[in-house]
Amino acid sequence: MEFYPEIAAALDVLSEESTTLGGKGRMVNVFSNSKRVKMILEDLFENRLHVHTNLPMWTRNTCKYGENFLLLQTAEKAGVIGVKQMPNFEMERHEMGIQELLTGNKTDNNETTFHWRGKDITFKSWQIIHFRLLGDDRKLPYGTSI
């Protein structure tokens, strides 16, 4: 898609217009009755995930591929300390029910997991952020590209 200027420009416009700054100069506004919760979430979005820089790129990738996978980098005491972009084409989402329908294999595992085919690593659902555009239910559990 990058080799077609019209499509590349459309993806740029979608990502830029979807991630404009609000009245307070933020892309993500946190509302909470708890000052502690508000402070923790604002720190997460601004200082750890760097949404002002990363969110436009994540949005563009989601529009382009129909989905985007991110690996949360965590530390025992500090929680989420960062995020790493994962290769979309190497990631698989495994959900209870969907995989059984697709493969016919029964499983006792009822939790969502993610598998990185390129490195043969499986992640728990809380380790991966999966943005996806749900539009075509034939593509489930994946998204559909714009």
Give the integer Cα–Cα distance in Å for 131 and 66. Answer: 8
Give the integer Cα–Cα distance in Å for 3 and 145. Answer: 16
Average confidence (pLDDT) over 8-37: 92
Give the integer Cα–Cα distance in Å for 113 and 95. Answer: 7
Strand order in 79-85's β-sheet?
Answer: 79-85, 67-75, 128-132
Strand order in 113-116's β-sheet?
Answer: 91-94, 113-116, 121-124
What sign does the dihedral 62-121-126-107 (CA atoms) show?
positive
Write down the pLDDT at residue 101.
60
Q: Say if residue 12's pLDDT is above 80.
A: yes
- Nearest 5°: phi and psi at 132? -150, 145
Average confidence (pLDDT) over 29-39: 95
Q: pLDDT band at residue 142, thresholds of 50, 70 and 90? A: confident
- In tens, the pLDDT along 79-121 reads 999 999 999 999 999 887 655 666 666 555 668 899 999 899 9
Q: Give 101: exposed, middle or buried? Use CB within 10 Å, 0-12, 13-18, 19+.
A: exposed
Give the integer Cα–Cα distance in Å for 116 and 138. Answer: 22
Give the integer Cα–Cα distance in Å for 30 and 143. Answer: 26
Averaged pLDDT of the chain:
88
Write down the pLDDT at residue 64.
92
Considering only CA atoms, which of 76, 73, 80 is closest in space to residue 40? 80
